[in-house]
């Protein structure tokens, strides 16, 4: 009998688990054997027994957590098919950040792809995403709403360069995630011909050096010395998102606060962070690319790990593709908070690896075997602005 | 349209008042007539389009998108115009994929997500003037197609600006006053000078710009019935009362209605101009034709809009039926007759009275209203007292202190210094409001929803419940929803609590953990209770807000539904609100 996808990959309190190979993918708590898609701290955590990942991802984990980040580590070569237990495993580029990979798991005639985080937009700092035909595609949905359409990232960095030219008396402080986004912004600035030094907050330094060692050309990127700040009028400074509103940023001359993120597409979010120059640059797929990628895999079934699951599941169902949300907690959160906060500023780890773990169990109750149709009621949102104190019923409503 | 769109987009991100003025002034300086005049009209809220309303936008969107995806997106973004601006796709974009039903899911384009360049001539991007003119002249039936054509031609920012314009809610932190200040700065004028001539002008304000730029004469025509900014009060606290001398103050009831200003005056032709303004200076005359007709005098009155039936003041719930109506039907005028209960008189027969002491104005007001003999207009009575203690007694029981059956429509007392002139704004000291204490209930948080607008990343709307006997023992039943009353710091903590204690998710709603031995108790303040068949608990709260977060209190000690039932049964006035069970 043919292998069923649900047997090939299941959910445990630690996350996605492959019984045939006895390993987890991007587990949110320490496990014996972990396959890691990429180096962001919500996917790559320390403390596992054995870790398999691309060489770059392993190196990033070592940079972040120290060389003893796991009991043992094994490099996965992109495109190379490996046998683990009863299953075949292949790592394929995901285009998210340097070293990011999708993980293809096969048994019998059933092929399943755990895409991790991925994007289709051009990025000079990493290998591009490669579509893989499969039966089940496991996708994120960080920007899984049709309001998210990322513009060309080059136009966004042009805005930054233009603003720096227009306001030579002001420093431009750009918030960007320390792994991937920061280096992509720098690379795009260089491509656009920006040849001034790009100043770095201390928290960006180690990973930026690592990118340079890997051959990504980022030019002169000095670290900002504290007493130098008042002198950086007209310069571009890159810092973790959390730093743009800290006292650290106020010491610059009349700073223009910019933030490079897909969230900047929504005005309220930019304003709420006090951002004056929103740069819509994302390392995730926008809505169009999520939909396109799902179609290109030819998958008959889609599992959505995290983000705006409801909309993407609905879109799949309306196209006749089976789909279900996994409601995995601990990844990104739907606000991308985990990416913002991972203690990168001080080089620390996520404070609690258990974050969301216990609630994940409570919510799963039977979700494993849930028929797709029973998910339908979850899709009905309460009408916006509804003043009714009655919440949507867990049973699926209809009684309101 | 694009220049205007980029102006308001930039202003929206600009927190600095002076920078906003500079941006506007720069735009006015470099944009020709009549384009800039229509921009000024948009910024001052002087544009209103009869047929172009939010419903129309929703209708257009429904034709082009999946209703579920639209609903989820709207809920996420929290703003209709922005949601549509972001989601809108020109029909050509969706061509590559077959539509499913009437649902045209947007289809992937090039890798950057930019719309694929269209073959043939580019669509014509409309100017602001064209848009304003089109909206004003297009009939109801042609409007949807016209709007769709514009939306197809504009980029995201342009679409957003167009939709904001149509829904008359720019909300970019620019008041009419600030826009006029920017105009004044073009010619080193005082903004007040713009106000003086403003009401005689109409978009696109070509003579105004000519005047401020020194190319033309001062525009003619003063506003015969101008709005005078109202005087507002601060809430009074116990410690304030301790230092205030009761003998220097007069008290009156604070009616639970809508504060209005009725202003009249004669124009150049001797015709009587009658206007009713809201507290913020919006002309709302159209909504109250019955009251406008009663304004047969030359004066400016400050008062409260109430609904009176057989001389009895109706509750705010009744008044609400008259509000926010586009069309006022004769039936409505009959069933909900508008009444003005006056607090103050600001001008009489062209004489400005605002500098007079309150006691003096009060006498003028009483005499004026008596002479008028108009049943729709009366004076809010004074509440006699000699000590704060006496006033506290009256405030706790207005029915026995002269208000009689109207007591239900009283939400406290106003304290006004007898010698206070009428000062615009909220000066500290002369006027105080002493509201009735709210009711309080300890409830348990059950669900949280993300807020809208600048709170769209925070779980800031909380559904809370109280205990009742259920079929399987004690259970929590939701009794209300609150989204205010906490500080920004507290919001951070509440948001964190929701995220760390989520047990279920339904779209934007999260269910949090609750039960006898777990959960968060919220002390909720509210103004009143009504029976409701719409809610499971059978009660609906008026203006509930979070009074305190009881991190310390076990959920099992939260209140029971019987406590709310008692409030309902005894009526609001009989049960002293602060004396709560347990």
In a domain, B195, yes or no: no
User: What's the CA gap between B74 and B81, in Å, rounded?
Assistant: 9
Q: Do B77 and A152 touch (CB under 8 A)?
A: no
User: What's the CA gap between A328 and B15, in Å, rounded?
Assistant: 38
CB–CB of B462/B268 below 8 Å? no
Rounded to a whole number of angstroms, the distance from the CA of B479 to the nearest CA of chain A is 7
Secondary structure (DSSP) of B78-130: --HHHHHHHH---GGGGTTS--BTTB------STT-PPPPPSSSPPPPPPHHH
Flag whether pLDDT at A394 surpasses 80.
no
Are A31 and A126 within one domain?
yes
Are B56 and B113 within one domain?
yes
Q: Do A271 and B13 touch (CB under 8 A)?
A: yes
What CATH number does residue A360 fall under?
Answer: 3.60.15.10
For residue A102, what are the domain limits? 5-148+283-366
Q: Do A147 and B463 touch (CB under 8 A)?
A: no
User: What's the CA gap between A342 and A357, in Å, rounded?
Assistant: 17
In a domain, B209, yes or no: no
Are A17 and A139 within one domain?
yes
Are A28 and A134 within one domain?
yes
pLDDT of residue B326: 66
Are B267 and B400 within one domain?
yes
B71: exposed, middle or buried (Cβ count in 10 Å: 0-12, 13-18, 19+): buried
Domain boundary among A246, A279, A312: A279
In a domain, B79, yes or no: yes
In a domain, A350, yes or no: yes
Q: How far is CA A343 from CA A178, B199, B543, B560, B575, in A?
A: 10, 57, 40, 43, 52
What CATH number does residue A239 fall under?
Answer: 3.40.50.10710
Strands B258-266, B272-278: pairing is: antiparallel
Are A172 and A287 within one domain?
no
Q: Do B76 and A359 touch (CB under 8 A)?
A: no
Q: Which of B113, B450, B466, B501 is best to mutate for the A interface (most A CBs within 10 A)?
A: B113
Flag whether pLDDT at A231 surpasses 70.
yes
In a domain, A391, yes or no: no
Of B73, B79, B534, the CB nearest to A388: B534
Q: Do B86 and A292 touch (CB under 8 A)?
A: no
- Range with the largest mean pLDDT of A2-6, A20-24, B66-70: A20-24
pLDDT of residue A160: 93
The total domain count for chain A is 2
Flag whether pLDDT at A391 surpasses 90.
no
A62-101 burial: b if 16+ Cβ within 10 Å, else e? bbbbeeebbeebeebeeeeeeebeebbbbbbbbbbbbbbb
Are B454 and B425 within one domain?
no
In a domain, B358, yes or no: yes
pLDDT digit string, tens, across residues A307-364: 889 999 999 999 999 999 987 766 763 233 333 333 333 333 322 222 233 333 333 2
Interface contact A319, partner B, CB < 8 A: yes
Are B471 and B557 within one domain?
yes
Using a CB-CB distance cutoff of 8 angstroms, which residues of chain A are in contact with residue B478?
389-391
The total domain count for chain B is 3
Q: Do B72 and A308 touch (CB under 8 A)?
A: yes
Q: Do A355 and B500 touch (CB under 8 A)?
A: yes
- The residues, any chain, with a CB within 8 Å of residue B41's CB and separated by 6 or more, are B47, B132, B203, B204, B205
User: What's the CA gap between A46 and A70, in Å, rounded?
Assistant: 6
CB–CB of B76/A145 below 8 Å? yes
Closest CA in chain B for residue A313: B69
Are B530 and B558 within one domain?
yes
Q: What are phi and psi of A221, to 5 degrees?
A: -130, 75
Q: Which of residues 157-176 of A touch B (CB under 8 A)?
A: none
Q: Do B13 and A278 touch (CB under 8 A)?
A: yes
Per-residue pLDDT tens listing for chain B (582 residues)? 888 998 998 888 877 788 789 889 999 999 999 999 999 999 987 787 766 677 888 888 888 888 899 989 988 888 888 999 999 987 655 433 333 333 333 343 344 444 444 445 567 889 999 998 888 888 888 888 899 999 999 988 899 999 988 876 777 778 787 898 899 999 988 876 787 687 778 889 999 999 999 999 998 766 788 878 789 998 888 788 989 999 999 999 999 899 999 999 988 788 999 999 888 777 788 889 999 999 999 999 999 999 999 889 987 778 877 876 767 889 889 989 999 999 999 999 989 899 999 999 999 999 999 999 999 999 999 999 999 999 999 998 898 888 888 888 898 999 999 999 998 778 888 999 998 888 899 999 999 988 765 565 688 999 999 999 988 889 999 999 999 889 888 999 999 999 889 888 876 788 999 998 899 999 999 987 877 777 778 888 888 999 999 998 999 999 999 999 888 876 544 333 343 333
Are B105 and B143 within one domain?
yes
Are B405 and B443 within one domain?
no
Of B79, B87, B505, the CB nearest to A146: B87
Are A314 and A354 within one domain?
yes
Closest CA in chain B for residue A292: B108
Q: Do A152 and B112 touch (CB under 8 A)?
A: yes
Residue with tokens 């076990």: B554
What CATH number does residue B322 fall under?
Answer: 3.30.470.30
In a domain, A160, yes or no: yes
Closest CA in chain A for residue B463: A389
In a domain, B281, yes or no: yes
Beta strands, E only, A108-184: 110-114, 136-141, 172-175
In a domain, A196, yes or no: yes
Give kind and range of the element (H or E) at residue B56. helix B54-64
Give kind and range of the element (H or E) at residue B18. helix B17-30
- The residues, any chain, with a CB within 8 Å of residue B337's CB and separated by 6 or more, are B290, B307, B308, B309, B376
pLDDT of residue B536: 76
Are B241 and B163 within one domain?
no
In a domain, B238, yes or no: yes
Rounded to a whole number of angstroms, the distance from the CA of A318 to the nearest CA of chain B is 8
Rounded to a whole number of angstroms, the distance from the CA of B167 to the nearest CA of chain A is 17
pLDDT of residue A3: 67
Using a CB-CB distance cutoff of 8 angstroms, which residues of chain A are in contact with residue B106?
146, 287-288, 291
Of B12, B69, B500, the CB nearest to A311: B69
Using a CB-CB distance cutoff of 8 angstroms, which residues of chain B are in contact with residue A274?
15
Are B412 and B478 within one domain?
no
What CATH number does residue B489 fall under?
Answer: 2.40.50.140
Q: Do A310 and B72 touch (CB under 8 A)?
A: yes
pLDDT of residue B102: 32
Domain boundary among B167, B183, B207: B167
For residue B461, what are the domain limits? 439-570
Q: Which of residues 264-283 of A touch B (CB under 8 A)?
A: 265-272, 274-278
Q: What is the mean pLDDT of chain A?
A: 82
Interface contact A130, partner B, CB < 8 A: no
Q: Which of B22, B23, B62, B112 is best to mutate for the A interface (most A CBs within 10 A)?
A: B112
In a domain, A55, yes or no: yes
- The residues, any chain, with a CB within 8 Å of residue A93's CB and separated by 6 or more, are A78, A100, A101, A102, A126, A127, A128, A129, A130
- The residues, any chain, with a CB within 8 Å of residue A274's CB and separated by 6 or more, are A244, A245, A257, B15
Determine the Cα angle at B183 with ends B180 and B185, to 5°. Answer: 110
Q: What angle, rounded to 10 degrees, do the helices at B17-30 and B2-13 form?
A: 170
pLDDT digit string, tens, across residues A146-167: 999 999 999 999 989 988 887 8
Q: Which of residues 31-70 of A touch B (CB under 8 A)?
A: none
Q: Residue B42 has which token pair?
A: 């948009």
Are A297 and A206 within one domain?
no
Q: How confident is the model at residue A374 (pLDDT cuts 50, 70, 90)?
A: very low
Q: Residue B350 has which token pair?
A: 């062209």
Using a CB-CB distance cutoff of 8 angstroms, which residues of chain A are in contact with residue B66?
314-315, 318
Bond into B117 cis (ω within 30) = no
CB–CB of B323/B258 below 8 Å? yes
Q: Do B507 and A378 touch (CB under 8 A)?
A: yes
Name the residue among A90, A164, A147, A154 with its Cα closest to residue A122: A154
Interface contact A228, partner B, CB < 8 A: no
Q: Do A392 and B507 touch (CB under 8 A)?
A: yes
In a domain, A9, yes or no: yes
Report the percent of chain A where pLDDT is more than 70.
Answer: 81
Domain boundary among A279, A305, A330: A279
Inter-chain Cβ pairs, chain A and chain B, closer than 8 A: 184
Residue B431 β-bridge partners: B416
Q: Do A269 and B457 touch (CB under 8 A)?
A: yes
In this prediction the pTM is 0.60
Flag whether pLDDT at A123 surpasses 70.
yes
Of A152, A318, A383, the CB nearest to B114: A152
């Amino acid at each position: 009998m043919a292998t069923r996808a649900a047997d090939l990959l299941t959910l445990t309190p630690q996350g996605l688990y492959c019984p045939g190979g006895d390993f987890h993918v991007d587990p949110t708590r320490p496990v014996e054997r972990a396959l890691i898609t990429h180096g962001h701290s919500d996917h790559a955590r320390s403390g596992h027994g054995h870790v398999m990942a691309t060489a770059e991802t392993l190196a990033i984990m070592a940079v972040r957590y120290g060389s003893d980040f796991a009991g043992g580590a094994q490099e996965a070569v992109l495109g190379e098919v490996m046998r683990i237990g009863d299953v075949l495993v292949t790592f394929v580029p995901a285009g998210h950040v340097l070293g990011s990979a999708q993980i293809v798991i096969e048994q019998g005639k059933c092929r399943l792809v755990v895409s991790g985080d991925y994007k289709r937009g051009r990025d000079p700092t990493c290998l591009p995403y490669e579509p893989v035909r499969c039966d089940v595609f496991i996708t994120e949905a960080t920007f899984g709403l049709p309001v998210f359409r990322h513009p060309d990232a080059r136009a966004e960095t042009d805005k930054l360069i233009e603003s720096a030219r227009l306001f030579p008396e002001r420093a431009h402080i750009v918030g960007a995630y320390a792994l991937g986004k920061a280096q992509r912004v720098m690379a795009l600035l260089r491509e656009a011909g920006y040849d001034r030094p790009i100043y770095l907050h201390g928290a960006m330094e180690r990973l930026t050096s690592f990118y340079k060692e890997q051959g990504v050309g980022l030019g002169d990127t000095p670290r900002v010395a504290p007493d130098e700040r008042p002198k950086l009028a007209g310069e571009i400074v890159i810092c973790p998102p959390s730093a743009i509103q800290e006292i650290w940023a106020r010491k610059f001359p009349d700073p223009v606060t910019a933030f490079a993120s897909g969230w900047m597409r929504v005005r309220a979010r930019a304003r709420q962070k006090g951002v004056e120059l929103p740069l819509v640059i994302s390392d995730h797929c926008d809505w169009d690319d999520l939909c396109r990628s799902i179609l290109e895999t030819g998958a008959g079934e889609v599992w959505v790990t995290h983000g705006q699951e409801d909309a993407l599941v609905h879109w799949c169902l309306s196209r006749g593709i089976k789909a279900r949300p996994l409601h995995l907690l601990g990844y990104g959160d739907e606000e991308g908070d985990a990416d913002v906060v991972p203690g990168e500023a001080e080089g620390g780890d996520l404070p609690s690896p258990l974050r969301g773990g216990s609630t994940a169990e409570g919510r799963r109750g039977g979700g494993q075997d849930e028929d797709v149709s029973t998910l339908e009621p979850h899709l009905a949102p309460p009408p916006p602005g509804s003043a009714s104190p009655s919440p949507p019923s867990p049973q699926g409503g209809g009684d309101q | 349209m694009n220049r205007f769109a980029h102006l308001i987009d930039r202003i929206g991100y600009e927190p600095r008042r002076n920078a906003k003025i500079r941006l506007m002034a720069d735009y006015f300086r470099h944009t020709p007539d009549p384009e800039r005049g229509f921009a000024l009209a948009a910024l001052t809220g002087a544009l209103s389009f009869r047929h172009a309303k939010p419903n129309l936008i929703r209708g257009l969107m429904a034709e082009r998108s999946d209703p579920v995806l639209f609903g989820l997106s709207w809920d996420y973004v929290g703003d209709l115009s922005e949601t549509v601006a972001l989601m809108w796709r020109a029909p050509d974009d969706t061509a590559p994929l077959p539509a499913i039903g009437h649902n045209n899911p947007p289809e992937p384009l090039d890798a950057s997500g930019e719309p694929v360049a269209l073959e043939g001539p580019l669509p014509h991007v409309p100017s602001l003037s064209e848009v304003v003119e089109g909206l004003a002249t297009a009939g109801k039936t042609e409007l949807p197609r016209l709007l769709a054509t514009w939306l197809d031609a504009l980029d995201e920012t342009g679409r957003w600006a167009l939709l904001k314009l149509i829904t008359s809610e720019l909300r970019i932190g620019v008041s009419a006053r600030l826009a006029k200040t920017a105009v004044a700065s073009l010619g080193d004028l005082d903004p007040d000078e713009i106000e003086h001539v403003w009401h005689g002008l109409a978009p696109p304000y070509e003579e105004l710009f000519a005047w401020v730029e020194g190319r033309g004469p001062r525009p003619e025509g003063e506003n015969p019935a101008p709005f005078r900014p109202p005087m507002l009060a601060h809430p009074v606290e116990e410690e304030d009362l301790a230092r205030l001398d009761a003998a220097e103050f007069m008290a009156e009831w604070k009616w639970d209605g809508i504060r209005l200003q009725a202003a009249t005056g004669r124009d150049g032709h001797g015709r009587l101009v009658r206007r009713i303004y809201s507290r913020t200076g919006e002309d709302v005359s159209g909504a109250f034709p019955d009251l406008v007709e009663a304004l047969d005098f030359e004066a400016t009155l400050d008062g409260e809009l109430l609904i009176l039936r057989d001389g009895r003041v109706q509750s705010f719930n009744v008044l609400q039926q008259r509000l926010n109506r586009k069309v006022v039907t004769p039936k409505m005028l009959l069933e909900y007759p508008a009444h003005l209960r006056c607090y103050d008189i600001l001008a009489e027969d062209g004489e400005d009275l605002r500098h007079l002491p309150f006691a003096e104005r009060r006498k003028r007001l009483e005499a004026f209203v008596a002479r008028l003999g108009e049943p729709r207009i009366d004076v809010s009575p004074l509440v006699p007292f000699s000590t704060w203690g006496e006033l506290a007694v009256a405030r706790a029981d207005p029915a026995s202190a002269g208000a009689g059956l109207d007591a239900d429509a009283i939400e406290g007392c106003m304290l006004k210094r007898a010698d206070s002139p009428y000062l615009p704004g909220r000066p500290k000291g002369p006027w105080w409001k002493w509201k009735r204490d709210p009711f309080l209930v300890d409830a348990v948080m059950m669900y949280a929803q993300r807020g809208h607008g600048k709170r769209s990343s925070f779980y800031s709307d909380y559904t809370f419940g109280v205990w009742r006997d259920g079929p399987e023992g004690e259970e929590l039943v939701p009794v209300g929803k609150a989204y205010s009353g906490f500080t920004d710091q507290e919001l951070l903590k509440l948001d964190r609590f929701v995220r760390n204690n989520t047990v279920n998710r339904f779209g934007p709603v999260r269910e949090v953990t609750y039960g006898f031995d777990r959960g968060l108790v919220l002390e909720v303040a509210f103004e009143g209770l009504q029976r409701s068949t719409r809610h499971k608990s059978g009660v609906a709260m008026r203006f509930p807000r979070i009074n305190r977060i009881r991190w310390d209190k076990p959920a099992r000690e939260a209140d029971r539904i019987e406590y709310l039932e008692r409030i309902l049964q005894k009526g609001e006035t009989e049960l002293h609100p602060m004396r709560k069970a347990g």
